[in-house]
Structure 1
Amino acid sequence: MKNEQPTVLVLFKAKAGYEEEAREVLRELVRKSLRDEGCLQYDMHEKPDAPGRFMLFERWASRELLSEHQEKEWMAEHGKKMGEVMAAEPEISFWTPFSGS
């Protein structure tokens, strides 16, 4: 991955009956992540016709700062909370802008 402002797209699915708990855990993730150095954008969305399905769109100033974010101690702790309310591991994909866009 180039060292250009990376974008991350993450898809989450809450366990049935845990949708509100998942929203709270995700709100906390957004609040904390927005404070991390290099975070340019961290937007959580919910699919209107599928409660409990969430999409995170995040942009970072550099790959290095994204890596630092992912390695934070609080992220590991947060991962445990996610495991309690999510039906599966998140689907994560990494993107970079291309010239001309």
Structure 2
Amino acid sequence: MAHLTIVAHITAKEDQVDFVKSELLKLIAPTLKEDGCVNYDLHQDNENPAHFMFYENWETRELWQQHTAGQPLKGFGTATEGALEGIQVHELTHLPASGQASV
């Protein structure tokens, strides 16, 4: 079965970029220890530093949903209340090229 891929776009308010970045970085270590987390990679846009993106892979949707309900994300939401322009989360499934095995 293919992994569930998550692409999450987080946009900080212009005056909150460093704060939001520090809070996002705090999510990485505990998330990597969670059941089902394959990878949890944070990126920052080179031209718009207020835009961050997580690229994640999870063994199952259920394990990702446990992550979304967990304390680290709840703490992030509380800490960054009022500091974000928005968050967009996309759930994706890898489509292998013809003859390529699905990951």
Question: Do they fold alike, i.e. is TM over 0.5?
Answer: yes
Question: How large is the RMSD of aligned CA atoms in angstroms?
Answer: 1.6
The residue that corresponds to 1:48 in the other structure is: 46
Distance 2:28 2:63 in 1: 16
Name the count of aligned residue pairs.
98
Distance 1:15 1:99 in 2: 37
CA displacement 1:31-58 (0-9 Å, x = unmatched): 2211111100100101101111111100
Distance 1:4 1:82 in 2: 33
Alignment partner for residue 96 of structure 1, among 87, 93, 98?
93
Q: Considering only CA atoms, is the larger Rg found in Structure 1 or Structure 2? A: 2
CA displacement 1:20-79 (0-9 Å, x = unmatched): 101100001122211111100100101101111111100001112111111213322221
| Structure 1 residues not aligned, in runs of 5+ | none
The residue that corresponds to 2:62 in the other structure is: 64
Structure 1's consecutive aligned runs of 4 or more residues displaced over 2 angstroms after TM superposition are 82-85, 98-101
Taking only the aligned residue pairs, the percentage that are identical comes to 22
The amino acid of 1:18's aligned partner reads Q
Distance 2:61 2:49 in 1: 32
